[in-house]
Amino acid sequence: MHIVTAKQTLSPNVTRLDVQAPRLAKIRQPGQFVIVHLRPGAERIPLTIADADPVAGTIALVIQAVGKSTRELVALEPGQAIKDIAGPLGRPTDMIERGHAVCVGGGVGTAVVHPIACGLHARGVKVSSIIGGRSREWVIFEEELRRCGDVHVCTDDGSYGRKGFVTDALKDLLAAGPVDVVYAVGPVPMMRAVARVTEPLKIHTIVSLNPVMVDGTGMCGGCRVSVGGENLFACVDGPEFDGHKVDFDLLMDRLGTYRAFEQNAMKHEGDCRVGLVPSLSPKPPGAA
């Protein structure tokens, strides 16, 4: 059992839970994730380790409440527990040892670029972070990222920082001086847009992908993505890949595969069960 030690609301639907996981806190590396299993019968959910405190033996999980299972997780209060946390999983981030790195975070993806920025900063790399949100209340991890370098904030409505998209700020930053690598984490359209900005400039760009994932060990094949024309598994080959080689259209299509099932799950409480939603069940051969 992993006890929740602290809880913080970061934005209207994003919550940070600090949970006891001493082994994970000591060995996790930037870019890695865990599979969280709240209780028997619950869904297994992949979550990036946003921060860790090896001394306290805790890790930070940043959760966007968009479905039934994530809403159950953020409903936890300090003192309550998560049954299982498996990890660390995935390949650690490939980090440069010198030069200038730009970390781009959109929405909850900002929590994912945080450990990357910290890891780069610890190596002596110059770090610039660009983070975005719909409005000021949706901007997260700004203070934490400022400890690692300069931060440029963008909001869609201009209520805080610069009005516009993170790609607008990225273009200006790239024009201002040499950049050796860009790390981007956020909604798929955002990561694709970042890759399109950097590709003509031949700036290496690493994106963190979030396909449907079940076991996290490469056995189920649910998290397969197409990178450079090759099928890879995000859980063991990633979750980070060369953004110039990712088939973003296929990724977006796969992310929408189970949307109807997720919407149906929101209507029901209780355990997650394997089965077909009646209205979505395939018709038998010959049926009208």
pLDDT tens-digit map of 94-105: 999 999 999 999
pLDDT tens sequence across 136-147: 999 999 999 999
- With contact defined as beta carbons under 8 Å apart, do 64 and 107 qualify? yes
Q: Give 142: exposed, middle or buried? Use CB within 10 Å, 0-12, 13-18, 19+.
A: middle
CATH architecture for residues 100-255? 3-Layer(aba) Sandwich (3.40)
What are the residue boundaries of the structural domains of the chain, listed by start? 2-89, 100-255
* Residues β-bridged to residue 18: 6, 60
Q: What is the pLDDT of residues 153-212, one digit of tens each?
A: 999 999 998 999 999 999 999 998 899 999 999 999 999 999 999 999 999 999 998 877
The class that CATH gives domain 2-89 is: mainly beta
Confidence of residue 287 (pLDDT cuts 50, 70, 90): very low
Judged against a pLDDT cut of 90, whether residue 43 lies above it is answered with no
User: What pLDDT score was predicted for residue 281?
Assistant: 44
For residues 28 and 49, the answer to whether their CB atoms sit within 8 Å is yes
pLDDT of 274 > 60? The answer is no
Contact 124, 160 (CB under 8 A): no
pLDDT grade for 60, boundaries at 50, 70 and 90: very high
- 0.75 exceeded by pTM: yes
Across the chain, mean pLDDT equals: 86
